[in-house]
Structure 1
């Protein structure tokens, strides 16, 4: 008996000892195993979808057959069930085909949020036709550029006066390019109604051969990103990429009773892919709103019994700025999912709306190949880079000098891995399993994002352009954007692009654009230091100019006048000192101006205005 107890007990004793040692010297082992197990199960499902060349149109067909009467999308007073979404999707696909679009062709969607956005998109997938999701804030040159780079044959515009006005502004340019314009809504004097065209079609399922050879790795949409320099770039996003992104929502294990709320724009990856496609795959319900509203955020959540919220950090800051009410904790929200949530807003949100709400912060880029997700609900971080996760992942943080905007290299020209608690540049190793999504058009646009010979000859890494820090507990924290890009109101803003436009403004001779910090705000607000041709800044004329030529998030919130711009020995504009001084009247002797949207002009920056901005009483 003693012998058999020894034989049976010895292995258990050894295993237990090993486990105790692992927990002592590798305390995060349980978290790593839990994440790998959860994500591994999702990857198993992904491989099956890939092997069968499944599309989101196929998923909608399956869901409509299985849970056809369940609510899929809620919008204002509209209820779209899975069956109704499939019916309208079939009609939209047939409408696109009736306009001569075939597999491989491209068209544009310039629409505010509404259920038909998803129906048009999934209908196009059934044909192998690729929509370009255009940012509804774009105007003039930037809008036309997006239409050109996608080489689209048709443009569908939402029935919103501001969007129709923007398209009318470039109407002649569109006619020259032979781009057919439809309005999704009532017919206007200028444009035929796409809605009427759709309504005439049958709702029969679309034959699979209409898609041609369009497969799992081919693009199903173009999503524009400002990247690091230049005008917006169209990123080719495939079914493969989309299915991988939906895993972020799937990690929350939503059931059919979960209701996902997003007021983010559907032209962004978060709302369209993570939100819409994620909801479709998980078989739950999605609530969309035409535009974000801080005051209606929680009333919406209560009205629709929302359980999961999608966010970007800026929206949560606006929500937390709303007056407190007795109903603050009267809701059914169990989790929020998004990116860019500052620790101070994170803390305020939980203290005010409920400590038990799970915050699943993540990091990713539409065109990128490196991602993090805060699966274990760790406060204030993007995710983890434990020793095991470093081995399994492709991300690496390298030393970076913010004063020179350069990667720090050793004597052999190779990069150096950043230390714990040191802010560095995030890179993503590129290989067969960790590819990046290419930009449409000139290959050099994609090539500029790739670094070669990083650690050894022949290796390739994606430059995220983001500065992050990994602490002693292996938690990764976002710090900033580098160099010529900053982030404001959830958008990446290219300083080069804005400078190129600002310098064309009335009375402007030279311009240097950069981002400046505002206490309590996400990201950095745009600021331009300019040299005038003569005289004073034309406050009203310059305001009208930036409104006509730049989206709202890219317009300089502050303007600083100077006699000359400082440049480096290679004639690159210096921004470091300008960023540090910001709009502080105590640090800057030169004249500064503030973009006042109420007065619709730039106004002289005063100490009262500065105090109001820093205290949050004046909204920027």
Structure 2
């Protein structure tokens, strides 16, 4: 017995220290994980293949679910209960109305509305007649809002009453776009139709022939992403893409029809609209929709609706920890699985221990991208994995890149170079239109689509999707998120394009230079926005500047810090040195320039004092 134990220990040490046999140890450690993932991935691929071969669409599949269990609860929302039959009939009303209005297959309609069941029925009803819905970020105002409607080539906008002012402000920029108001009729905008009133008169019968003519590769939705530069881009979501995103999470995380999912995320995001709602629309799982996330009511809602699965983004987890102190009594919820992205490694264990969540399915992937990953065994900090010996079956990989620009580094033959374990690199995924999991439908703007592709990566003629993100893969195949490349940072669960903010700033104040970048704050998810402004004549009015930003940017895009300078560093080719400024951040000990902090309550910027800086760095003040 002792001899056997000693032999096993010595053999383990040998395999661990001998590089030649290290592979045996890695396979031994990951075999169970890889077999589980392989089975689930095979089921997913078979399901996607079957859906395409049988000419399925989201509308067709949902219609079958209604016939299967019409009275099952599809959505819980506040005090409302929507059955599958309710969703079907309401979406039929929408389909009939817009069909009678002259909308036809391939047309686009923009949707600006808060999260609620009608949000889903609106795009589902339009999908039944082949109309594409552009899910507009409801935080957008001014030029970004107008741009999003225009780039989708929307022939109409359906908007909630709460967003009437924003639509009215840009009405001159979209003069030919029809307006349909969903909400309070006493505040109806000029030339706008009271949609709720019109729907009350509409029939709710099935649209059999319209639904039957749909195809798997038809466009279903436009979901907007900031990408790496510029204004929001409309990512094309086909029926097949919707299948892949929703079912990919379903099969890899083993979600069932008996689960109840808590979805407090905005429904204009792919996480809320596809990963969450998609479980209901495609597989009949009940989903709880919340108008807006609340840390105070998160677990209250989960208990009330008996949720077994809950969704998150990284900030949500931090807010929940902050809202429920460690001395709180145990919360009697039934949530066993959390799905999401952005859970920081630093709070991972604390979160699952505090709330007793058994499994965390952290996933990674852009709305439009094909380099998608998921962590199926709750490995702390990992955003997913691909076995190093199995990359041929799922060709997602990391390539070496310039640390400052994110540009791929090519060898003497002109090809890209794969990263070694532990080496940071840009995450890319092969583009193969013949396989749903490797397809890249791109954006509504073809030029924007081409910018996300890298050609001749490992051989002539191949094409890969460039995620624009820096990841690290360890020897066991786990991927860990490191940073974003380009001019984008993530804050409050949103991607923020720096060039968009810089453009707004140039219209607010007549300054020679303004640079926007993201800076890290200890204990906070993502990066906070910061702007360095050149003000040589000391004429910058901080109050007016702040008001201008608030009126022209979404709340999450308003810079938290302002650095006022007389000059900014430039390269030899007269490019602004954003990297140097980013490294200095808002560190008062390194910076001699004046620094200001965003005061959201009073809509102003106040001077950043050493005391306030200390409070931010120690976590006493949360931003």
Shorter-chain TM band: over 0.9
Aligned to 1:16: none
Alpha-carbon distance, 1:556 to partner: 1.1
CA RMSD of aligned residues (A): 1.9
* 2:537 match: 534
Residue of structure 2 aligned with 1:569, choices 569, 572, 597: 572
CA distance in 1: counterparts of 2:31 and 2:440, whole angstroms:
30
Query: Relative to 1, partners in 2 of residues 1:538 and 1:211: Cα closer, same or farther, differing over 3 Å?
Result: same
> Alignment length, in residue pairs?
594
**Match runs of 1:59-98 below 5 Å:** 59-98=61-100
- Match of residue 436 from structure 1: 440
For residue 505 of structure 1, report the CA deviation from its aligned partner.
2.0
Tell me whether 1:173 sits opposite 2:173 in the alignment.
yes
Residue 618 of structure 1, aligned match among 599, 602, 621: 621
Identify if the C-alpha distance between structure 1 residues 49 and 585 changes in structure 2 by more than 3 Å, giving closer, same or farther: same
Shift of 1:367: 1.2
Paired residue for 1:550? Answer: 553
Give yes or no for contact 2:59–2:211 (8 Å, CA) kept in 1. no
Work out the CA distance in 2 between the residues paired with 1:563 and 1:394: 49
Between the aligned partners of 1:202 and 1:310, the Cα distance in structure 2 is: 35
Structure 2 CA distance for aligned equivalents of residues 473 and 25 of structure 1:
6
* Aligned CA distance change for structure 1 residues 264 and 25 (closer, same or farther; 3 Å): closer
Q: What is the CA distance between 1:186 and its match in structure 2?
A: 2.8
Distance 2:188 2:493 in 1: 35
Alignment partner, residue 12 of structure 2: none
CA distance in 2, matches of 1:212, 1:308: 33
Q: Is the 8 A contact 2:60 2:211 kept in 1?
A: no
Match of 2:3 in 1: none
- Check the 8 A contact 1:94/1:198 in 2, yes or no: no
Look up the SS of the partner of 1:478 in the other structure: strand
TM-aligned CA distance change 1:483 to 1:25, over 3 Å: closer
Q: Aligned equivalents of 2:207 and 2:470: distance in 1?
A: 46
Contact between 1:531 and 1:564, CA under 8 Å: does it hold in 2? yes
Trace 1:102-181 onto structure 2 (pairs within 5 A): 102-160=104-162, 163-174=163-174, 176=175, 178-181=176-179
Q: Is this contact kept in 1: 2:536–2:566, CA < 8 A?
A: no
2:455 is the counterpart of 1:448: no
Residue 307 in 1 paired to residue 308 in 2? yes
Question: Aligned partners of 1:570, 1:53: CA distance in 2, in Å?
Answer: 54
The separation in 1 between residues aligned to 2:564 and 2:601, in whole angstroms, is: 22
Q: Deviations over 1:424-461 (max 9, x none)?
A: 111112223222122113x2211111112222222211
Distance, in Å, in 2 between the alignment partners of 1:597 and 1:490 is: 18
Q: TM-score, normalised by structure 2?
A: 0.92
Change (3 A) 1:21 1:142: closer
Change in Cα spacing, 1:332 to 1:531, as seen in structure 2 (3 Å) is same
The answer to which of 512-521 and 489-498 deviates more is 489-498
What residue in structure 2 maps to residue 6 of structure 1? none
Cα offset, 1:23, TM superposition: 6.4
Distance 1:503 1:378 in 2: 45
Equivalent-residue separation in structure 1 for 2:573 and 2:429 (angstroms): 29
Q: What is the rounded CA distance, in whole Å, between the counterparts of 1:470 and 1:157 in structure 2?
A: 43
- Secondary structure, counterpart of 1:503 in structure 2: helix
User: Aligned to 1:407, what secondary structure does the other structure show?
Assistant: coil
Partner of 1:44: 46
Give the deviation of 1:250 after TM superposition.
3.5
List gaps (5 residues or longer) in structure 2.
1-20
Instruction: Give me the TM-score of the superposition, normalised by structure 1.
Output: 0.92
The answer to whether the aligner puts 1:235 opposite 2:235 as a matched pair is: yes
- Secondary structure of 2:513's counterpart equals strand
Match of 1:101 in 2: 103
